[in-house]
Structure 1
Amino acid sequence: MTLSTPVLTPSTLFARETLWQSWLDVEATLAEVQADMGMIPESAARGIRAVAVLDRIGVDALEADIRITHAPILSLTRLLAKAAGKAGDYVHWGATTQNVMQTGRILLVREADLEIRKILASALLLLAEMAETHADTLMAGRTNRQHALPITFGFKVAGWIEELSRSINRLEGGGRRLFALPFGGAVGAMHAFGPQGRELNRRLAARLDLSELLVPGRSNNDLFADYIVQQSLLAMTIERIASELYLLMTQEIGEITERLDDGTVGSSTMPHKINPKYVVRVLADAAELRNLAAPAMETGRSSHEGDSATNQLLSSVLDRAIPLAWEMAQRFENLLARTEVQAAKMKDNANQTGGAIATERLMMLLAPMTGRSEAHDLIHHAIEHLPDPEITVTEALRKDSAILAHLSEAEITAALDPAGYCGDSSAIARDAATVARRMAGGLKSRSSTSSSDVALID
């Protein structure tokens, strides 16, 4: 089903008028399915569809009526029925408020989900290019924020790609579960429709391109909570990637910069400063979205067959979470497009320890002759207290008699070259680029298909 709303944006997704029109779309589709089943006259369905447009109902009139009734769907169906004339006798036939409100919101969330997928596909392609281009770009691998072993920047990006892929898969699963029809009448058992109830649910779900629920009740908030939690996990991943980029932008590290437009001002006070502009917005969005997981889970604690208190909370959380996820994805893609890798600085930093970053390789060369523990201790003691700060680790180890008893100076020097000890970094980076492109293709191909499709990656 195509919604009758204008082009959606993060700011208009759950705007008042957008929501109202989504409810009108649901009411009109319900009438059409009921007419197909002989539950209401076909002329009634045509009449309802013809006026199920917000401009025909009147925004001001609807707003005024809602202020009186405090029941938006009651007001909407009352004005829809009035606009439809005789056909209006069949508006909202057997339905209840939450049936329409939740279904409308699900349809809007699905529209946002499709846009978020497209943006994440573009982000994956940018990461794929980054991983492939820098598959052999030497940098320091860091654990506990200290130099650990040499890697390539492409390898680091490969880790981002794989984690982002997992987040996308989780989001895909949350979407498949959420995009189901919560239309079961007053309590979920289709009372008002007699023996045709479940068939109506099946046909309406098919018309709206939603899956079916065995119990299409009003308290299935876990489906919404699940989806928001998956969005929060996506935010966690994007936040981790952006945080690493932000740290690598630190002036003392200088391995990443943002490409800024001419005329960008770094600081109003300090003329010399060039502050990062794009990464900080991503980090702010991601932190806010990540923290919506907790209130989302509160919405699943609804009581019995319906609970307005949890539904009010759910609407509030959805209104914040889904547009925020959309904006975060857009800003993340923009950040990646403006990320510039300073390969020379990465290489300089990797060589900063004078060969110490590759001492594991030297240890493993010594180990067959001395045993691993002895090899570790020989190297550790040789560099623990360098006699002269001008002497590099490589120079100190080349002169250590205990190590020279087993290896030549040339072998020691070669072992301590960081560029020669990056493990499978290059191959992993190139494989990750392939994975990212394949997943991006899957995301783009599903941008206009049914929400019930299979997962992107098994």
Structure 2
Amino acid sequence: MTLSPDTIFDRDTLWQSWLDVEAALARAQADLGIIPAWAAEEITAAADLDKLGREELAADVKRTMAPILSLTRLLGRAAGKAGDYVHWGATTQNVMQTGRLLLLREANREIRAHLGRAVARMGALAQEHAGTPMAGRTNRQHALPITFGFKIAGWIEEMERAEARLSDATTRMLALPFGGAVGAMHAFRSQGRALNRRLASDLGLRELLVPGRSANDLFAEYVVQLAMLAMTVERVTSEVYTLMTDEIGEVSEQLDKGTVGSSTMPQKINPKYVVRSISLAAELRSLAAPALETGRSSHEGDSVANHLLSAVLDRAVPLAWRMAESFAETLERLTPNPGRMAENLARSKGAITAENLMMSLAPLVGRAEAHDIVHHVLETGGVSDLSTADEITAHMSPSEIAAALDPALYTGDSEIIAREAARLAIGLSARLGG
């Protein structure tokens, strides 16, 4: 079965995941002698949705309103004599939550792979434009010159933090929530812990000391970290969206031939990919609060919390998958415009490097005095007076002043940082699976 954001939690996918858990349970129990080995083989062979019959199962679920009861009833029938050993000692939530967890793991791999693509593109851009000057902005105003590669370096490092948080949450979440009716493995007598260990190993999950039905915090944390990831994606793409405006024009999207910008204004080329990324990220980010509500389950099991958890996961995980895919495509289509970066950087006619002039003057007159001199000249005469003001020319030559006011010569460690971030992106992309 091919999984996608549209099918990851659909009816058939979920049902098959539950059958996979029932088969794994039978195998683990056979290993421990709880049920006969031949029964486990028959149950595993029968645990296929195609063999059970989708419509028959759907009709039974509609009648019982107990999906696992209906599923195990039909599985038992399909397994013949081995059907007597189906769902041995398990409870509904054990199977439903474990099956969903297996699907979460598959979706997480896809999310990470798309993020890996995005980071790889960031790394390539950081390397290519490590020395491309542009205006750095604080409070949405020109601040100091940087390079475009330096800007992307910040994105890369933030993505590294997002990956670390998401990886930690994923490791904690991928734990087997299979402990029988209340989590203490009552029905398995003295073999409960051994069974949990075998089943976790079969499914590639870690063990929980208390494999109960109220450990929703593990899932809530994962969704919160997806929301944190969305925050980072939204920050990056919103900045890209701003840089695409006609007034700035420092980046654009590479659109396919025939793409229409506007139905009424033929001259317009509206962004297509970045806006989708922003929208998906904003929607995903909004699910952090509902995710936290799911952890407020009561005692050893709470259907209200579990229903809410399923609803949140059903929205958050496909959203994260689509967002990661859209984010990667947005960055892969991102086209920098170094010419416009240079034009915008030159708009202040050198005022953007006033700090450099101040720091060049500081060793000669003191830092505070240098600040006051440069500020006074800018306030009273403007940028053009920086090259002629007596307070400055008395201490610096014209060539020294010109060099101090050249934005391309005052980008700090931007290029060094950009190249280091490009190397960081290579390793990060590999870890993500891109």
The answer to whether TM tops 0.5 is yes
By how many angstroms is 1:70 displaced? 1.2
Partner of 2:351: 356
Which residue in the other structure is 2:412 paired with?
423
Partner of 2:92: 97
Letter in 1 for 2:46: V
Hey, what's the Cα distance between the residues in 2 that align with 1:333 and 1:80? 41
Q: Provide the residue aligned with 1:405 in structure 2.
A: 394
1:142-172 Cα offsets, whole Å, 9 max, x none, are: 0000000000000000000000111011111
1:2-401 equivalent positions in 2, closer than 5 A: 6-386=1-381, 393=383, 395-401=384-390
- Output one character per residue of 1:186-232: Cα deviation in whole Å (capped at 9) or x when no partner: 00000000000000000100111100000000000000000001111
Root mean square deviation of aligned Cα: 0.9
Q: Secondary structure of the residue that 2:265 maps to in structure 1?
A: coil
Runs of 4+ in 1 over 4 A off after TM superposition: none
Please tell me the residue identity of whatever aligns with 2:367: R
Aligned match of 1:455: none
State the shift of 1:385 in Å. Answer: 3.3
Q: Distance in 1 between matches of 2:211 and 2:151?
A: 45
SS in 1 for 2:134: strand
Query: What SS does the corresponding residue of 2:3 show, helix, strand or coil?
Result: coil
Counterparts of 1:292 and 1:61, CA distance in 2:
35
Q: Deviations over 1:238-257 (max 9, x none)?
A: 11110110000010000000
Cα distance in 2 for residues equivalent to 1:36 and 1:203:
8
Aligned pair count reads 434
What one-letter code is carried by the residue in structure 1 that aligns with 2:394?
A
Matching residue's letter, 1:419: A
- Measured in 1, the distance between the counterparts of 2:292 and 2:66 equals 25
Q: Paired residue for 2:423?
A: 434
Residue 443 (structure 1) aligned with residue 432 (structure 2):
yes
C-alpha deviations, 1:399-432, integer Å up to 9, x for none? 1011111111211111000000000000000000
d(CA) in 2 for partners of 1:301 and 1:442? 33
- Structure 2 Cα separation of the partners of residues 310 and 328 of structure 1: 26
Task: Summarize deviations over 1:254-291 as a string: whole Å, max 9, x none.
Answer: 00000011111111111111100000000000000001
C-alpha distance in structure 2 between counterparts of 1:103 and 1:47, whole Å:
21
Unaligned runs of 5+ in 1: 1-5, 387-391, 448-458
The letter for the 2-side match of 1:180 is A
Distance 1:341 1:268 in 2: 26
Task: Measure the CA separation in 1 of the matches of 2:310 and 2:432.
Answer: 27
Counterpart of 1:11 in structure 2: which amino acid? D
| TM-aligned CA deviation for residue 443 of structure 1 | 2.6
> Distance in 2 between the 1:186 and 1:302 partners?
15
- d(CA) in 2 for partners of 1:334 and 1:440? 15
Distance 1:310 1:385 in 2: 66
Structure-2 separation of matches of 1:261 and 1:86: 59
1:287-340: per-residue Cα shift (whole Å, max 9, x none)? 000011110000000000000001000000100110110110100110011000
Shift of 1:21: 0.2
Partner SS state of residue 140, structure 1:
strand
